[in-house]
Amino acid sequence: MPHSPSAPSPVDAGSKVERRRAFLAECRPATRRIHAPIVDLTGARGHLNPRGLGHARAFSDLGSLGQSSVGFDTLADYEAADEAGRAPYGGAEYGVVQSPEAEAVCTKFARLHGGVGAIVCGSGLAAIATVLDAFAPKVILIPDGIYFPAWRYMSEANLAETGRAALLTYPAGASGAEVGALIREAGRTFAPGETMIYLEAPASGTFEIPDIAGIVDEARRAGIRTVMDNTWGSHVRFRPLDHGIGIAIQATTKYEGGYGDTPSGVAVARDEADLARLRRQLRIGGHGAVSPQTCTRLFHRVDSAESRLARHEAAAASLMRWFEGKAVTADILSPARAASPHHARFRQYFGAGNSLFTVVFDEGLPVGRIHAFVDALLLFRVAESWGGHVSLVLPVHPRRDPASLPKGAMFRFNAGLEEADDLIADLDQAARAALP
Ligand SMILES: *Cc1c(COP(=O)(O)O)cnc(C)c1O
């Protein structure tokens, strides 16, 4: 039930803001900086960042402020630009397609991923949709741990319903041979050019890792295009194109922007023909309208992604150690843990972790206790998305065969950029209040 502004939630508007303020007064400076000013969720309509931040500044003397019209001195100049899709002074002939700021972001991401070029879209999901529509596969091989909205796009919104794509599902931790068998199954009905292999690793929420090299090998032998959602890794932990994958997709909403204020996504292509198809589809679908302010943030923030990731990783490791010592913890899902069945592949491909892990609570623990624990947390916010400065928590509900899933309730944590000791103190106080 949404709370109406006139009847603020009793938990957050009053007592919880006060409790949060008192808790933060005892925290270290880095934590206080991240949570200042203390946002009252009702007043801010749930936004974690304070209002009115960062009014668009010109990116450079040539930077646009997000204008739809691009002017030409002569009709002939315009007609040539319309034909080529490019203005003589760079960028598109129509401002919604690609601003100079967007172009700068694309150039930067292409370099970061070792690709020939990139597109930037208004969200990570829009980047996924643009890639799917650009190649319009008739069959897509997908992992069962796929980011749910990507699955929904494939299965509901568009491709499957119109009879354009069948989906064949492989386990998120599949071997190359398992995917090879699916490739042969697809091959009975579809040509290689009609087939796409879609990877996402580690899997959303549960973090299994497939045999990426084995899958790419099978795909290459069969002449099938590969696409990878690399949001978990970002270019810092994994560069898909270096591993023979054709298109790398990043929800730059997450680590590249890093502060929850850059809704956007990029797709980087390894070859020119693919890039041309992506650019064409960007225009067809209208997904290229990304605000220059978002692009400007992204352009600069991506430079600190590596150091932020190291800090996120260290905080997540501390939090996981805290959960390891608790009787209520049945398991912790993270390939960065030596105990994880995916740890060998994690070391092979990613080498280091990030902010995410999922706690599986003991089956015997009443769900009400877990909810009380989550509600008692003062630094961790209940919120979707991840990869930002604020620590977050959210239940995980994978939509797949329950037999392949752990039994207890699962909650995904995003370790933010606060001081890890303050986050631990928050877990301690919530546990004292709510856990047996
Ligand atoms: C968040 C996310 C996306 C989509 O990003 P949005 O910008 O929120 O649309 C795609 N893939 C993965 C794995 C994600 O976690």
The CB of 233 under 6 Å from ligand 1? The reply is: no
Residue nearest to atom 8 of ligand 1 (CA): 124
Q: ∠ CA(331), CA(337), CA(169), 5° rounding?
A: 75
Q: Select from 125, 252, 291, 412 the residue to mutate for testing ligand 1; criterion: most ligand atoms less than 8 Å from CB.
A: 125
d(CA 138, CA 196): 8
Q: Shortest CA distance to 67 belongs to which of 94, 38, 95?
A: 95
CA of 200 to the centre of ligand 1 (A): 11
23 torsion bin: left (phi>0), alpha (psi -120 to 50), beta (else): alpha
Q: Which residue ranges form the domains of the chain, and what is each CATH number?
A: 13-53+304-434 (3.90.1150.10), 70-95 (no CATH), 96-303 (3.40.640.10)
**pTM of the shown model:** 0.90
Dihedral sign from CA coordinates of 54, 56, 60, 66: positive
Each residue's pLDDT tens digit in the chain (436 positions)?
333 444 444 444 457 888 999 999 999 988 988 888 777 777 666 777 665 444 444 334 444 455 677 788 889 988 998 888 778 877 777 777 777 788 889 999 999 999 999 999 999 999 999 999 999 999 999 999 999 999 999 987 555 456 668 999 999 999 999 999 999 999 999 999 999 999 999 999 999 999 999 999 999 999 999 999 999 999 999 999 999 999 999 999 999 999 999 999 999 999 999 999 999 999 889 898 888 889 989 999 999 999 999 999 999 999 999 999 999 999 999 999 999 999 999 999 999 999 999 999 999 999 999 999 999 999 999 999 999 999 999 999 988 888 888 899 999 999 999 999 999 999 999 999 999 8
Helix, strand, or coil here: 327? Answer: coil
Ligand 1 atom with minimal separation from the 264 CA: 7
Question: What's the 251 CA to ligand 1 centre distance in angstroms?
Answer: 5
For the beta carbon of residue 222, count every other beta carbon within 10 angstroms.
16
Alpha-carbon gap, residue 432 to 110, rounded angstroms: 48
CA distance 170 to 219: 14
Ligand 1 neighbour 260 (Cβ under 6 A): no
Is residue 129 within 6 Å of ligand 1 at its C-beta? Answer: no
Of the chain, the end-to-end C-alpha distance in Å amounts to 29
